[in-house]
Structure 1
């Protein structure tokens, strides 16, 4: 019984330490009034439909993934779920696949009054992905910086660390967020340096390769099925098992005649210009 009571007290203590902050009326979830002042990230948000932070490498050195992020309002990037107009954070791969890591409309700031470990959380990402952006208050950080850990600690929960003076109570002034949602930038969005937007997730030339493979399979099937039919039904053997044998045996000569007919006049013209005579194109056979 004592153990149960102690467990309940721990849960109460944890829940009281981290509290979701309801933003002031008309403000986005990246704004929170605290006892020490207002935390307001709106001044470091991009409002033109692109991300404030792009091309963020994964902190453990894994070069397969890069990340982007924009506080306060959504942005568009690349293709797939990150281009749907609700992205707060996005992961992209070297193959130009994009995964939306959090819906901007779910943005909630959590205030930890005991440790100061405040963070923003975004839910409803692709395949239930969740993103947490931990805020580091640095009064000297006029230019914000950000790192991305990926989901190495807990699968599908992505961790960012944002350092800025705007994470400090009273560190940054209010910057209005447009009431009209940002429209998709021309070319599909993606937000500047380091971004990989506008690229297709299908590698160039893959469609051509597939078509060639399909044609080869079709030719092989044609000859195999034709040979079987000629052998079983008509009792043909050897070269006689080749479907439409006359056509395939005459094909090289037909190609030759076609080349003579097509290029013969050109050859004769060149020969005449070169002073070497030239007559009927049949002479080049």
Structure 2
């Protein structure tokens, strides 16, 4: 079996590479494990075991996911269709990255007895295989162009609910304007003892702005209609 052959090869040719979160430095460039994962759901799911058609595997790069009560904060899980049970076999926090002769290997554990060996092969066409070696050892063989260091760049999933830079800017701007208005009204009411319309901060400025805006609109309309009806104030 190709997966087992790769596993034996790695054991005798292992080279450990120091890592930083989900980005790993290799002699051929930066490998980003995030490109092989989704947020909150496994990128690879319902992968039939090469040894048993009743076992279905799931795996996700970098980001933990949860599907059932027994598969929470996982990097990989296996579902047994015969017993209808789901089992966590790997956690994202427990992984070891190696890079050997162009082949990436990531070894995961579940924090207990299970070990998952993930082999990432640089290929243009994407495919995935999974197998159970023994009671506590599992294998994934993933072929993908994103397994090639430097080939894929991670782009945050828009459906993940993260705010864009523009949205953050608007929130900050609106918050500052609201704070300014509230503080100004309090100052005018209790320090200046103003009432009614005089509580509007910088009222004369806003009136002048409205006046200038009206003249600006009239000027544009006149230009469009080719009428020079604008008068300087």
Q: TM-score range with shorter-chain normalisation?
A: 0.5 to 0.7
- 1:251-266 equivalences in 2 (<5 Å): none
Q: In structure 1, how many angstroms separate the alpha carbons of the residues matched to 2:119 and 2:35?
A: 17
Does 1:116 pair with 2:102? yes
Out of 64, 74, 78, the position equivalent to 1:91 is: 78
- Aligned-residue offset at 1:66: 0.7
Q: d(CA) in 1 for partners of 2:116 and 2:49?
A: 14
- Paired residues for 1:36-115 under 5 Å: 36-47=28-39, 49-60=40-51, 62-80=52-70, 82-83=71-72, 86-94=73-81, 95-112=83-100, 115=101
Post-superposition offset of 1:170: 1.2
**CA drift at 1:96:** 1.9
Number of aligned pairs?
150
The answer as to 2:133 corresponding to 1:159 is no
Q: Structure 1 or 2: larger strand share? A: 2
Shift of 1:110: 1.1
Deviation at 1:16, TM superposition (A): 9.3
Deviation at 1:176, TM superposition (A): 5.3
The equivalent residue for 1:147 is 129
The alpha carbon displacement at 1:145 in A equals: 2.2
Confirm whether residue 128 of structure 1 aligns to residue 113 of structure 2: yes
CA contact 1:79–1:97 (8 Å) conserved in 2: no
Deviations 1:205-252 (A, max 9, x none): xxxxxxxxxxxxxxxxxxxxxxxxxxxxxxxxxxxxxxxxxxxxxxxx
Q: Distance in 1 between matches of 2:138 and 2:24?
A: 22
Cα drift, residue 18 of structure 1:
1.8
TM-score by length of 2: 0.57
**Structure 2 spans left out of the alignment, 5+ residues:** 1-9, 163-233
Which structure would you say has the larger RCO, counting Cα contacts within 8 Å and 6 or more residues apart?
1
1:147, distance to aligned residue in structure 2 (A): 1.0
The 5-angstrom pairing of residues 266-281 of structure 1 reads none
> Given that residues 41 and 172 in structure 1 are in contact (C-alpha distance below 8 angstroms), is that contact kept between their aligned partners in structure 2?
no
Query: 1:189-209: per-residue Cα shift (whole Å, max 9, x none)?
Result: xxxxxxxxxxxxxxxxxxxxx
CA radius of gyration, larger in: 1
d(CA) in 2 for partners of 1:15, 1:52: 27
Change (3 A) 1:15 1:99: closer
